[in-house]
Structure 1
Amino acid sequence: MLTELRDQLGRALFLRVAGPDGPATRARIHDTPGPRWFSPERPIRTVHGDASMFVGGLSALLLQSLHPLAMAAVSAHSGFRSDPWGRLQRTSTFLAVTTYGTASDAEEAVERVRAIHQRVRGKTREGLPYRAAEPHLLGWVHAAETDSFLRAHERYGAQPLDAAGYDAYVADTARVAEALGVLDPPRDRESLAQRLNAYRPELRATSEARAAARFLLLSPPLPLIQRPFYAALAANAVALLPPWARDRLGIPRSALVDDLAVRPAGLLLTGTIRWAMTSASRGPHTS
């Protein structure tokens, strides 16, 4: 009975993250022979294969929304409201291919994303122009994502890395970032923190960012029975944000609530996801 429950939950989670083509995509990623960008012992494989990515991914979206140009591009072009699960599945597949797939598949995936970025351009409500392919904007998206994944793994990962391991993780992600067009991406945790701080004068919570936060945190397209589990995920994604980011998004902070309720719920949630996904895939993002 318990094994059957785990299998059902694992399949449901995998379908949600990887989409209907997930099994075939997973087989191609892992079973195709050839050189990879990252060898099996690299930290990027450890981090991206852990259930903590569920928390880190949502936290990254909230953090990224604070750049007005990035948020304007997402709001106008990504379809995150009309097809949020499709966007999740495409992102998950990109992470899986570049982390675990062959070098040729990783290069093709990067070229597809770069081609999409070239078409994403426009103006904010204030008339400021944006281009998704602009290196500075790509650098913000990369830094926010890397920091969120790292924070999530450090807090909820099954096997947290040491300081050298997380420095190596940042260096691993830099390889993907450079391929996407980021100039001089951070290569250790200290430089990552410095890069995030350098962006802070540009960040603010626009009306689009606040609307996105309300959608992501309060109105997910999920059946009612799944809402309590998502609420725990959302609470931990918020708790993972830097305090200044929570302040800008107008989300109240309580260290006591975070320590006594939110973090234990996050540990239980990621542990349950890890237990279920073990039977369904080789990790939450190994589509």
Structure 2
Amino acid sequence: MTAQERINTQLATAFERYQTENERLQRFAISEIDRSRLELIDLLNEYAKKDNTISRARVNSLLRDLDEVERIIRNNGITALNKVIEDSAESAVTASATALGAIVAVDAISPRRINRNVLRYVTNRYSDDGLVLSDRIWRLAGEQRDELNKTLRSGILQGRSVNQMTVDIRKVYDNETWKIRRLVTTEGNTAHRVATAYSASDSDVVKAVQIIDHPGHRRHEHHECYRLSRQNPYGWGAGMYRPEDTYIYAPHPQCRASFRYILKDEYLGGDN
């Protein structure tokens, strides 16, 4: 096995492990945003009458208080996604440094600086909808607040008890989790790719990164990662790009494409 083959085998294995880590980060983000549900339940109990219902006369006052719930969703969401990005970047930098360890100086790759730069890049990246990450979290919080607004207004006007509305609120949160999972999948995998590319640039031994698409799902051949993995812009081979080519970092939402390393000629060597 050549040095490059060994390195890329390690990168591939590390990326598969990261997918399990991403699932954990999805659960973490969902849990953080779900904390706002407990605040809302406390709020309902404050408004409840002795019969455990809420007066119709107070419906508008309660719905105005959803501003605070929306704020908690928003703030917890931003905090959670920042951790997703940081943990994902750290995972990638560790994998890259380990894989390149035999041919790169110990201090060549700076985890702290790379992680900081990855967080800055991912949080300020404009997606295809023209929004940065905080905008998308604000949108998620607003949409969730709108659903809670409809659910509570309907429940109060129907005379449902706080216990019954608590169940309805749980359903709203459950129905919104797919949006959180989508965000974590998108931003976590993007952070992992960016950190892998930044590590390549720092190493001074990597000539190119090769994008490896993630097949096995519907309409995969229409995804941008499919196209990028088959292009040959520099004549180096299919899917090979400079580590600084930012347009390969986030091919499309929920992209699970990963990067491999193409070493500079002087580091290719023979069997190791």
In the superposition, the TM-score normalised over structure 1's length comes to 0.27
Structure with the greater relative contact order (CA < 8 A, sep ≥ 6): 1 or 2?
A: 1
- Mark the structure with the bigger radius of gyration: 2
Alignment TM-score, normalising by the size of structure 2: 0.28
